[in-house]
Amino acid sequence: MQRLEAVIDHADIGIAPTREGRFELVSRHFCQIFQCEEPDALGHPTRLIYTSDEAYQALSARALPAFMEHGAFDGELELMRTTGHLFWAHMRGRAVVPGDRTKGTIWTIEDVSEARAHRERLTWASNHDTLTGLANRPAFEALLEQATAAAEREPFCVMFIDLDRFKQVNDTGGHAAGDALLRDVARELSGKVRKSDTVARLGGDEFAVLLSRCPLSQAREIAEKLRVAVDAYRLVWEGTSFGVGASIGMVRVDASYTAMADVLRAADAACYAAKQQGRNCVVVHGA
């Protein structure tokens, strides 16, 4: 036991052999991770490191099939320090005697909160526009492709929005003013759609909205709300008030569309038609 304790105490990873739902040994690094003393864990139920009974039971439900099939468990889950603070851990478990859990399990635990947060930031950045926080073009096109594939069962509507007179804002107030206006317009658009809808910035002063399971009549009403909100918005920048309009092109997507590219072309054509009809208006493709 002394030799075993010496070995696990020198490991730079949390180690905890358990048996019958209790800790038999805990390493020094384990105590550092959970901010506890060794007596606080030895002999105590393993439940103490989980956030709730439900979380403890959920791990058992995940781990048992893994032990039965592979003799080991490997996964990430949220655990709790003795202070009550939650963190993300990478846990690996292996039976002391394969196939016989009554002989105990050896668990290793790493705090991966920072690594996980970093992954989430990278994932968020790859799917979102950094200026406005909206979905970016690749993310929007991926969502649109999925929706188009299911349009026969679930028709939906898409709109393209191109801001009118935006170039004047950049030319007069500078790019800082233009960026501020884009951020504000993004908030206006996001606040006027349903929770199930997706607003994206495609680039420059171009936006798009995917209205899932939305009949054309309701989509028209939403589009008009967006147009009115953008038209009413004013940016006061260094003593000058700037305003823009919104030329909106809309498409109802059903089984007649089989490719995302066709939907994009139709929405773009409708948006161009709105520009040609005097700007700051809504045009439905094919209407």
The string of DSSP letters for 182-198 reads: HHHHHHHHHTTS-TT-E
Residues of the chain with pLDDT under 70: none
Domain boundaries, the chain: 2-116, 128-284
SS3 label, residue 81: coil
At 141 the pLDDT is: 97
State the pTM of this model.
0.75
Decide if 2-116 and 128-284 have a common fold.
no
For 134-176, what is each residue's pLDDT tens digit?
999 999 999 999 999 999 999 999 999 999 999 999 999 999 9
CA distance 14 to 19: 17
Q: Angle, to 10 degrees, between the axis of helix 175-190 and the axis of helix 216-232?
A: 140
At 5 the pLDDT is: 81
SS3 label, residue 204: coil
CA–CA distances in Å: residue 264 to residues 14, 169, 270: 52, 27, 10
| 211 contacts 147 by C-beta, under 8 angstroms | no
SS3 label, residue 133: coil
Nearest to 93 by CA among 82, 81, 80, 77: 77
User: Which residue is catalytic, options 162, 197, 205, 268?
Assistant: 205
Tokens of 245: 């309009």
At 7 the pLDDT is: 81
Domain 2-116 is found in CATH 3.90.1150.10: no
**Which CATH number does 128-284 carry?**
3.30.70.270
At 220 the pLDDT is: 96
At 2 the pLDDT is: 81
At 68 the pLDDT is: 76
> Is residue 74 flagged as an active site residue?
no
> CB within 8 A of 228, min separation 6: which ones?
none
Alpha carbon 40 to its chain centroid, in Å, reads 37
